[in-house]
Amino acid sequence: MTFDPREELAVIRKNLGDISFEDQRVLVTGGAGFLGSWMCDTLLTSGAQVLCIDNFASGQWSNIRHLADHERFCFIEHDISTPLPVDTPVDYVFHMASRASPFEFEHFPIQILKANTMGVLTALGIAKKYGANVLYTSTSEVYGNPSVVPTPESYYGNVNCVGPRGCYDEAKRCGEAYVVAYRRQHQLKTRIARIFNTYGPRIRMDGIYGRVIPRFIDQALNGEPLTVFGEGAQTRSFTYVTDQIEGLLRLAALDAAEGQVINIGNTNEITVLELAHRVIARTGSASAISFSPLPEDDPLRRNPDITKAREILGWSPRAALDYGLMRTIAWMKSQVE
């Protein structure tokens, strides 16, 4: 299978139906990241003007290079955790900037905390100035290691604030609290997405920063053992990028979603060991599987309750894991070539 990102964009556009951002001015923080860059692409195809902010902490120029000459795209290299004067009105602020890989939690905990606290404040300040709608991309990590699975938005979480994931989990929880505070005190229109594990083309695949799917694919393509942590009995539910972007844009656009906190994730829960076998099968690799200790505080199960997304957004995931894996494998091969 060859890889052409226009296929992903066409799928998202089709699935969004008549949702449009025609003539809307949208500021996207983290716009050069994995999800941020797909967001910029999709918004542009929906007729929006996009102001993309990124400092390339984890975002990459290669994700947005193709947009550089687009007449409705503007890029500013900036660390959103420091003040950013924005002198042109915007209709939406999407705060998507943050490192998100567990390997980064160890090396960049302060940046992660800042992006989701001071960065959120910068984003909210811009939204307040122009009366813009806010979309904050939070995470399933606000639930920590949940005791209720499938996990609904009403679950308060089980988080170790001083553990290795504390910098991310607590920062996102604080970010949500800021968003709600601006909503209460300044009547901002806000939406919070709790994003569950998402994968697809443009996800980081470099070295230690890769999440489990690009890591396993990389290992399989290179004939190296797939590094399963623990016994691989921990579960995740993986959402393909087209589904995730559709869910986020429905949340941002629909009036019924105003003020809501909504899980956006797949409900198809599989173990990490099963995932390793799937990747080996889909790549046709002869790789073996190696086992090493489970990292501290690695959540044992993760699976969203998406009743709210179904009822309020009319959204549920459509892409099967095998399809998403094939597209991601094709993209990773194209990158190596």
For the annotated catalytic residues, the residue numbers are 168
Quick one: which of 105, 95, 253 has its CA closest to 176? 95
By the rule CB under 6 A, 192 interacts with ligand UDP: no
Shorter beta-carbon distance to ligand UDP: residue 252 or 276: 276
Q: Closest distance between ligand UDP and the C-beta of residue 217, in Å?
A: 11
Q: Closest distance between ligand UDP and the C-beta of residue 200, in Å?
A: 13
Q: SS3 string of 154-190?
A: CCCCECCCCCCCHHHHHHHHHHHHHHHHHHHHHCCCE
Alpha-carbon span 322 to 337, nearest angstrom: 22
Per CB under 6 A, the list member of 128, 298, 312, 330 interacting with ligand UDP is 298
Which residues have a Cβ under 8 Å from the Cβ of 311 and sit 6 or more positions away? none
Cis peptide before 152 (omega within 30 of 0): no
State the number of binding residues for ligand UDP (CB under 6 A).
13
Enter the tokens of residue 59.
């975002």
Per CB under 6 A, the list member of 167, 228, 245, 264 interacting with ligand UDP is 228
By the rule CB under 6 A, 236 interacts with ligand UDP: yes
Shorter beta-carbon distance to ligand UDP: residue 5 or 295: 295
Per CB under 6 A, the list member of 197, 198, 266, 328 interacting with ligand UDP is 197
Per CB under 6 A, the list member of 46, 111, 133, 234 interacting with ligand UDP is 234
Cβ-based neighbour number of residue 143 at 10 Å: 26
Q: Which of residues 261-280 bind ligand UDP (CB under 6 A)?
A: 272
Please check whether residue 156 is in contact with residue 144, taking contact to mean a CB–CB distance below 8 angstroms: no
By the rule CB under 6 A, 114 interacts with ligand UDP: no
Please check whether residue 226 is in contact with residue 279, taking contact to mean a CB–CB distance below 8 angstroms: yes
Cβ-based neighbour number of residue 60 at 10 Å: 16
Interacting span for ligand UDP (CB under 6 A) from 17-25, 33-41, 143-151, 224-232? 224-232
Q: Closest distance between ligand UDP and the C-beta of residue 295, in Å?
A: 6
89: region left, alpha or beta (phi > 0 left; psi from -120 to 50 alpha): beta
Per CB under 6 A, the list member of 128, 163, 229, 333 interacting with ligand UDP is 229
Site mask, ligand UDP, residues 67-106, x = CB under 6 A?
Answer: -----------------------------------x----
Q: Closest distance between ligand UDP and the C-beta of residue 284, in Å?
A: 20
Please check whether residue 211 is in contact with residue 248, taking contact to mean a CB–CB distance below 8 angstroms: no
Shorter beta-carbon distance to ligand UDP: residue 10 or 288: 288
Cβ-based neighbour number of residue 292 at 10 Å: 9
Please check whether residue 155 is in contact with residue 146, taking contact to mean a CB–CB distance below 8 angstroms: yes
By the rule CB under 6 A, 212 interacts with ligand UDP: yes
Write out the residues near ligand UDP by the rule CB under 6 A. 102, 197, 211-212, 215, 227-229, 234, 236, 272, 295, 298
